[in-house]
Structure 1
Amino acid sequence: MSTDTGGRSLDVESLSGLAYVGIIAAIVSAVIHLRLGVGFIDSPLGISFILAGLGFLGAVVLVLLNYRRRTVYAVGIPFTAIQIVLWYVFNFAAGDKAFPADVGTLGAIDKLAQVVLIAVLVVLLRE
């Protein structure tokens, strides 16, 4: 009889330096999304920010646990790209802000982190 409970432990030894760059980028984006979500908690927009932030954090946990990393990388690319597209559409294409003048500090940091994350995920997926 097996005593395996299916529990997982951290597997950071198998992560490359590039993977850590991706983890940091995902955490930066997660923190920004969670902060914005709390600020807009009474609206559907706030809930969407919180869900996005939790998605980034959940992916980081899965990578740290070495749970289907390649799948997490593959799903992370469109997930993150959709964040960028939605941000642009809601704020600039359909919103009243001017690009790039009204990007703001949080927006710039978040989008930079997301572009870095996508680049890292593409490289990790191709390894």
Structure 2
Amino acid sequence: MATAETQGLSLRTASLGGLEWTGIVAALVSAVIHIRLGVGFAPSPLGISFILAGLGFLGAIALVLVDYRRRTVYAVGVPFTLVQIVAWYYVNFVAMGKSFPGEIGTLGAIDKIAQIVLIAVLVVLLRQRS
């Protein structure tokens, strides 16, 4: 069933294609990693920022699933995700002096791959809908 009623909001997934689902999975991967890291660093400001970023990804997924201004969500998602990548690079490789790419780590690599996939998907979706 493509539509489900949830507390007054209805999921509208019938219009989602493979590209959209790829973006949802990529955003979900990044959300889970950010929340996991955030809980590990909580209650520090870094931990809180991770949790907020993860919640941002989850919120965007929810908006897409209920078909709330999808194009706007896609448009905001590109800079939001780019900021995540730039901040990650700065915190890890500029401020902490780690070696790039030698010290990326497994979670960092998975997260950045998911985010690059997400940005690519969002750009394609924006071009298709313009």
Q: TM-score range by the shorter chain?
A: over 0.9
List per-residue Cα deviations over 1:1-23 (Å, max 9, x = no partner): xxxxxx43000000010000000
The 5-angstrom pairing of residues 1-127 of structure 1 reads 7-127=8-128
One-letter identity of the residue aligned with 1:15: L
List per-residue Cα deviations over 1:53-107 (Å, max 9, x = no partner): 0000000000000000000000000000000000001100221210000000000
Which structure carries more strand by proportion?
Answer: 2
TM-score scaled to structure 1, two decimals?
A: 0.94
Q: Which structure 2 residue ranges, 5 or more long, are not aligned?
A: 1-7
**Length, aligned pairs only:** 121
Q: Which structure 1 residue ranges, 5 or more long, are not aligned?
A: 1-6
| Structure 1 moving runs of 4+ over 6 Å | none
Percent of aligned positions that are identical: 73
- Report the alpha carbon displacement of residue 41 of structure 1 after superposing the two structures with TM: 0.7
User: RMSD of the TM alignment (CA)?
Assistant: 0.6
TM-score scaled to structure 2, two decimals?
A: 0.91
